[in-house]
């Protein structure tokens, strides 16, 4: 009966005295961790995230936890199933670990170096640009456009990267420039 | 969004069309529920499918996909016929009083100026009658002139009676009338309604006009510019907004400046053909007036010392497209053998479609394809998709491992235009590199090739500015400073776009972001949130001006001059946007000169960005009509009840026909059911096929089939079914449901089938499937046709057949 009384008095739904007597000393998983801020990578509500990391003894960074940021006027700490599992997008054994190359007609990928792919793509860009570049159109107008290369992307990378992509692609003379907004 | 997520809590009535926020934007949906729970707001959800949004709505309307112009048109008609519009707002803050030129007409589904051969309109008659003395538009403030926008609009929408609306949309007349009653109360100054939409409105051949029809209704009710009001697009990806602002889009330069057109030789030519024109003496026409300053400052940011007054600031370095160069055009050009190379970052063409089979054929016609992504995609793997023969696919494919969002800093801009900075939390995994470092190094290598070998017009490549500490590894902080822009005379960061100049002494990468990064620091990093509402939300309206930064100039509700009456008092003092305190505007950051007295006879009209200075009920800004009109989807089971002779959009561009390729549209005889596509809470487009927890929650592709139709076909939940269109098929599991159901449209019984889009031949589910997800691409079904204006594909309304396997 004493227990029932304490339960009612605590208002917590459990007996504090019992809980105290059986308490196991625990530390938080994020104790001592570095706290940083991010934004959910999925939809455009723009939920703020708190990410906790710790440096391990071998010098790598361990991601311990991602949770909703309670200070945000957008999400007030809440996350949906996608945001709540963002750790599994951040750290994944399915990631492409190195540049891959599939030659014309080849039946498989070949792991290659960054230097190899960047060199080949730069040469492709130059060749396609020179082959499809129109300086003057049929009406004699200066148009300086590259018709044979397209770039599409950007809904998943930072705004500053997007601005940079626009600047570089327009610099190359591209007219076919697209991202997820239209589709 | 004209407003922002938290602002939705201020609404009295929330119309949700073409969206399912409870499932697709669940955390944003808390603000809808706050409106409902805290202020008794009503939610009306019109959607083909009963969803979790419908479950908490006050009214659910089963609407036929793609018919929302008729729904909004019927509401516009109700408001006009019963004089329920916000009178002072409509007279003073919209172009209702503007007189339209003689010659404008609308007959049998066609506006004046139609050219059937080119499938285009000459829009000369869609303009205002100008006053010969002033050159400005003539106005009739009584709104009685038969050629006034108000009277023309009243006539136009008089056809949208409740019975016609019901016949087109399938919504019962009694239900429509109930909605009309609720909406009709929202024209009172102390009431406010918001309209929320997503890609369920945009993904149609009439997408632009679907949205405009909602905007017209909002202007009539006086709800634009007000807290709790507006037209609010819920965007589907973390940074669609930011990278639209920064113009990864064929038709614009940063900050929504138009891409120059052939024939324009000078900045003056460009501005004359691109900038809005002032059409009322009290119009500020801020955008039009400053267009050249924004353009020249951008050219200075890009071409530095090579952009000089005597070379028109390198205007000829900017490419001038010959024709539409949007998403479908890329694959159309590839099919014609005119596209050699494609670079994709964080987008997969094979899954996105439309008409994935045709898009995959197009990918196979490229010389080279570059994928920049953290994880494999259906585009990186298209050459070995189930059923494909890699040896026959000649495209050279590069897969470049890119970093994830959490491995780099930079900003994401949410639907509410809040640019929120994020930290780099983790180092890149494996050999992954940042997208912008990949692009920087590619560009520098290309530049070296031009320096050593020469080539076509290398000038822009050789002179493009790269003022970064390490040109191969620019920091996003450096780029953010460049976007903001600086005064070249003083070396200081700009604080507002109002100070940009067109004499070459200022720079900006994107004028709408000027002010985001002054000398005092990066304002997008600000974190003054709900931990201290008293300090951080001084108006109590939830603007939180010290949390991140929103464009333009940290304004949280766009067009907010329209939140106050002619005297500068809030239409509803309990929900003010900005108000005039006798010497200045207070509240949100004003969308108006900060000290302009509303009683000044020269005071500007409220909508400062357009030429009219007022909201446009009638507009020549669209290629398919000055008023929104209902057209059937390109594939529809019925003829348009309003004008069967001109049933579908007369100006939607038909790629296959124009290119001489075989027809890929189906008929209702072969494909009798309407289909629509959508997303699930547990998946984000295609990338989450790699996330184990989410695949566990939603493991397999399925289609939702109405209970009655399933009964006719002997289909039970869990059966395998084939859904096919003229273009392709999916073979997946059936989910039989009462969330979808039969409707009566144009006197005919029709069924709608629902198709989630998330699956394909790449991911955890595909890896464990015997066919490796061979017929899982939802967009194998969708048509290769899009909106007449934006060319947004018609993903949301097409015809299919259904078979039990």
Q: What is the CATH number of the domain that holds A48?
A: 2.20.25.90
Residue A58 sits in the same domain as residue A12: no
For A109, the closest of B399, B440, B688 (CB atoms) is: B399
pLDDT the model gives residue A25: 64
pLDDT band at residue A22 using 50, 70 and 90 as cut-offs:
low
Please tell me whether residues B724 and B768 are part of one structural domain: yes
CB contact under 8 A, B425 and A51: yes
pLDDT (0 to 100) of residue A7: 43
**Chain B closest-CA separation from residue A155 CA (Å):** 4
Does A40 share its domain with A82?
yes
Residues B422 and B493 in one domain: no
CA of A22, closest CA in chain B: separation in Å? 34
Please tell me whether the interface predicted TM-score (ipTM) of this complex is above 0.95.
yes
pLDDT single digits (tens) A87-118: 999 999 999 999 999 999 999 999 999 999 99
pLDDT in the model for residue A13? 60
Question: What does DSSP say about strands B13-17 and A142-153: parallel, antiparallel, or unpaired?
Answer: unpaired
Note whether B388 and B498 are same-domain residues: no
Residues B649 and B774 in one domain: yes
Question: Do the chains contact at A39 and B338, CB–CB below 8 Å?
Answer: no
Q: Does residue A4 register a pLDDT over 60?
A: no
Confidence of residue A29 (pLDDT cuts 50, 70, 90): confident
Q: Are residues A176 and A130 in the same domain?
A: yes
- CB-CB under 8 Å, A174 with B319: yes
Provide the H-helix boundaries in chain A: 2-10, 16-21, 81-84, 86-90, 114-132, 159-172
Instruction: Give the pLDDT score at B96.
Output: 98
The verdict on residue B531 lying in a domain is: no
Between CA B13 and CA B42 the distance in angstroms is: 5
pLDDT in tens, B606-642: 999 999 999 999 999 999 999 999 999 999 999 999 9
| Inter-CA distances, B419 with A79, B2, B114, B484, B519, Å | 19, 15, 42, 13, 18
Q: Residue B696 domain-assigned?
A: yes
Give the three-state DSSP class for A89. helix
Q: Cβ contacts (< 8 Å) between A89 and chain B: which residues?
A: 404, 687-688, 690-691
Any A CB within 8 A of B456 CB: yes
CB B686 within 8 A of CB B350: no
Residues A17 and A39 grouped into a single domain: no
Cβ(A135)–Cβ(B458) below 8 Å = no
Chain A residue with CA closest to B320: the answer is: A143
Angstrom distance (rounded) from CA B477 to CA A158? 11
Considering the domain architecture, whether residues B371 and B424 belong to the same structural domain is answered as: yes
Question: Under 8 Å CB-to-CB from B171, ≥6 apart: which residues?
Answer: B46, B61, B62, B63, B71, B165
- In B297-448 the beta strands, taken as DSSP E runs, fall at 341-345, 368-373, 396-401, 410-413, 418-422
**Total of domains in chain A:** 3
Instruction: Kindly give, in sequence order, each residue whose CB lies less than 8 Å from that of residue B776, ignoring residues fewer than 6 positions away.
Output: B701, B730, B731, B732, B759, B760, B761, B766, B769
Half-sphere exposure of B73 (CA within 13 A, CB side): 27
Give CA–CA dist B18/B233, Å, rounded.
10
Q: Is residue B579 situated within a structural domain? A: no
Same domain for B78 and B197: yes
Looking at residue A26, its pLDDT comes to 73
Identify whether B461 is part of a domain: no
| Domain co-membership, A66 together with A125 | no
CB–CB contact A181 B238 (8 Å): no
For residue B558, being part of any structural domain is answered with no
For chain B, which ranges sit under pLDDT 50?
none
Specify the pTM.
0.96
Chains A and B: how many Cβ contacts under 8 Å? Answer: 500
Listed by number, the residues of chain B in 470-529 with a beta carbon closer than 8 Å to a beta carbon of chain A are 474, 476, 479-480, 482-483, 509-510, 527, 529
| Confidence check: pLDDT of A10 > 90 | no
Q: Same domain for B232 and B256?
A: no
Mean pLDDT, residues A6-24 taken together: 59
Q: Which residues pair with A37 in a beta bridge?
A: A50
Tell me the three state secondary structure of residue B405: helix
Structural domain that includes position B290: 251-321+475-516
User: Is B59 part of any domain?
Assistant: yes
For A127, name the nearest residue in chain B, comparing CA atoms only.
B455
Asked if A83 and A136 sit in the same domain, the reply is: no
Q: Determine the distance in angstroms separating the CA of A27 from the nearest CA of chain B, rounded to an integer.
A: 23
Q: Is residue B163 domain-shared with residue B281, that is, in the same domain?
A: no
Is residue A107 a part of any domain in this protein?
Answer: no
Give the integer Cα–Cα distance in Å for B746 and B168: 6
B630 close to B765: Cβ distance less than 8 angstroms: no
B321 chain-A contacts, CB cut-off 8 A: 143, 145, 175
**Do residues A131 and A175 both lie within one domain?**
yes
Structural domain harbouring A82: 34-90
A81 domain residue, yes or no? yes
pLDDT at A3 (0 to 100): 41
What local confidence, expressed as pLDDT, does residue A27 receive? Answer: 80
Q: Which residues of chain A lie closer than 8 angstroms to B691, CB-CB?
A: 85, 88-89, 92
Count of structural domains, chain B: 4
User: Does B632 reside within a domain?
Assistant: no
Chain B residues whose CB is inside 8 A of the A67 CB are none
Q: Residue B470 phi/psi, 5° resolution?
A: -125, 105
* CA B67 centroid distance within chain: 18
Same domain, B299 and B422: no
Instruction: From chain B, pick out residues whose CB is under 8 angstroms from the CB of A43.
Output: 24-25, 28, 234-238, 684
| Mean pLDDT calculated for residue range A58-78 | 96
User: Is it the case that residue A1 has pLDDT exceeding 90?
Assistant: no
Give the C-alpha separation, B163 to B569, whole Å. 40
CA dist B616 and B153 (Å) reads: 12
Strand pairing category for A48-55 and B341-345? unpaired
> Closest-CA residue in chain A for B261?
A143
């Amino acid at each position: 009966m004493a227990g029932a009384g304490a339960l009612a008095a605590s208002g917590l739904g459990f007996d504090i005295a019992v809980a105290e007597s059986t308490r196991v000393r625990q530390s938080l998983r994020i104790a001592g961790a570095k706290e940083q801020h991010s934004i959910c990578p999925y939809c455009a509500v723009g939920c703020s995230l708190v990410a906790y990391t710790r440096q391990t003894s071998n010098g790598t960074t361990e991601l311990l936890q991602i949770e909703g940021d309670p200070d945000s006027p957008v999400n007030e700490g809440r996350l949906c199933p996608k945001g709540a599992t963002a750790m599994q997008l951040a750290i994944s054994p399915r990631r492409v670990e190195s540049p891959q190359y599939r030659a014309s007609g080849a039946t498989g990928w070949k792991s290659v170096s960054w230097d190899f792919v960047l060199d080949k793509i730069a040469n492709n860009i130059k060749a396609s640009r020179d082959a499809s570049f129109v300086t003057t159109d049929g009406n004699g107008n200066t148009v300086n456009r590259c018709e044979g290369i397209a770039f599409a992307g950007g809904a998943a990378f930072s705004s500053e990267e997007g601005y940079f992509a626009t600047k570089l692609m327009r610099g190359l003379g591209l007219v076919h420039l697209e991202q997820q907004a239209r589709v | 969004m004209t407003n922002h997520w938290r602002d939705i809590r201020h609404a009295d009535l929330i119309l949700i069309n073409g969206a399912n926020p409870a499932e697709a934007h669940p955390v944003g949906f808390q603000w809808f529920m706050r409106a409902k729970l805290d202020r008794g707001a009503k939610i009306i959800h019109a959607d083909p499918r009963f969803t979790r949004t419908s479950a908490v709505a006050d009214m659910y309307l089963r609407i036929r996909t793609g018919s929302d112009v008729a729904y909004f048109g019927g509401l516009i008609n109700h408001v006009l016929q019963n004089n329920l519009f916000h009178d002072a707002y409509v007279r003073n803050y919209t172009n209702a009083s503007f007189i339209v030129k003689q010659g404008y007409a609308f007959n049998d589904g066609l506006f004046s100026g139609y050219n059937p051969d080119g499938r285009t309109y000459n829009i000369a008659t869609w303009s205002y009658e100008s006053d010969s003395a002033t050159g400005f538009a003539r106005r009739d403030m009584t709104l009685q002139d038969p050629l006034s926008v108000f009277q023309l609009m009243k006539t136009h929408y008089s056809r949208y009676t409740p019975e016609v609306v019901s016949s087109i949309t399938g919504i019962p007349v009694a239900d429509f009338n109930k909605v009309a009653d609720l909406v009709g109360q929202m024209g009172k100054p102390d009431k406010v309604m918001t309209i929320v939409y997503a890609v369920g409105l945009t993904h149609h051949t009439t997408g632009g006009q679907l949205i405009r029809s909602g905007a017209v209704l909002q202007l009539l009710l006086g709800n634009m510019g007000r807290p709790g009001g507006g037209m609010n697009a819920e965007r589907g990806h973390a940074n669609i907004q930011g990278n639209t602002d920064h113009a990864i889009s064929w038709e614009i330069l940063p900050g929504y400046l138009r891409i120059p057109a052939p024939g324009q030789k000078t900045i003056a030519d460009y501005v004359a053909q691109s900038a809005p024109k002032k059409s009322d003496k009290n119009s500020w026409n801020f955008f039009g007036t400053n267009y050249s300053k924004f353009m020249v400052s951008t050219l200075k940011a890009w071409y530095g010392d090579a952009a000089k007054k005597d070379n028109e600031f390198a205007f000829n370095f900017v490419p001038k497209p010959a024709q539409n160069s949007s998403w479908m055009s890329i694959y159309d050009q590839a099919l014609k053998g005119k596209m050699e190379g494609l670079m994709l970052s964080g987008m997969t063409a094979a899954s996105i479609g439309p008409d994935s089979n045709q898009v995959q054929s197009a990918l196979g016609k490229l010389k080279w394809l570059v994928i920049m992504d953290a994880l494999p995609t259906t585009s990186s793997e298209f050459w070995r998709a189930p059923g494909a023969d890699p040896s026959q696919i000649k495209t050279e494919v590069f897969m470049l491992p890119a970093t994830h969002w959490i491995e780099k800093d930079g900003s994401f801009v949410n639907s509410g235009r809040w640019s929120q900075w994020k930290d780099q939390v983790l180092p890149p995994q494996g050999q992954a590199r940042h997208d912008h470092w990949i692009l920087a190094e590619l560009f520098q290598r290309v530049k070296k090739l031009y320096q050593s070998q020469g080539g076509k017009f290398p000038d822009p490549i050789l002179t493009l500015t790269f003022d970064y500490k390490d040109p191969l590894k620019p920091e996003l902080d450096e780029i953010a400073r460049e976007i903001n822009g600086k005064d070249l005379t003083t070396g200081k960061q700009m604080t507002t776009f109002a100070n940009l100049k067109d004499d070459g002494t200022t720079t900006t990468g994107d004028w709408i972001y000027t002010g985001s990064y002054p000398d005092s620091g990066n304002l997008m990093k600000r974190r003054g949130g709900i931990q201290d509402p008293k300090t951080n939300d001084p108006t109590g309206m939830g603007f939180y001006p010290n949390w991140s930064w929103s464009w333009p100039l940290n304004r949280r509700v766009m067009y907010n001059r329209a939140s106050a009456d002619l005297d500068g008092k809030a239409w509803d003092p309990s929900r003010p946007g900005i108000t005039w305190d006798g010497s200045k505007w207070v509240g949100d950051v004003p969308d108006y000169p900060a000290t302009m007295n509303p009683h000044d006879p020269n005071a500007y009209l409220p909508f400062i960005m357009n030429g009219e200075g007022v909201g446009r009920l009638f507009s020549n800004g669209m290629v398919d009509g000055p008023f929104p009109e209902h057209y059937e989807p390109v594939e529809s089971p019925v003829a348009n009840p309003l004008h069967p002779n001109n049933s579908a959009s007369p100006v939607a561009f038909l790629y296959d026909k124009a290119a001489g390729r075989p027809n890929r549209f189906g008929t209702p005889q072969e494909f009798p059911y309407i289909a629509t596509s959508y997303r699930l809470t547990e998946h984000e487009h295609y990338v989450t096929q790699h996330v184990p927890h989410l695949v566990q929650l939603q493991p397999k592709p399925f289609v939702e089939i109405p209970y009655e139709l399933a009964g006719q076909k002997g289909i039970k939940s869990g059966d395998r079914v084939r859904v096919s269109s003229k273009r392709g098929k999916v073979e997946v599991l059936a989910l039989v449901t009462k969330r979808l159901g039969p409707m009566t449209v144009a006197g005919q019984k029709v069924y709608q089938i629902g198709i989630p889009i998330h699956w394909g031949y790449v991911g955890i589910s595909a890896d464990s499937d015997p066919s490796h997800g061979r017929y899982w691409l939802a967009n194998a079904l969708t048509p290769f046709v899009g909106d007449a204006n934006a060319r947004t594909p018609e993903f949301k309304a097409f015809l299919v057949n259904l078979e039990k396997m």
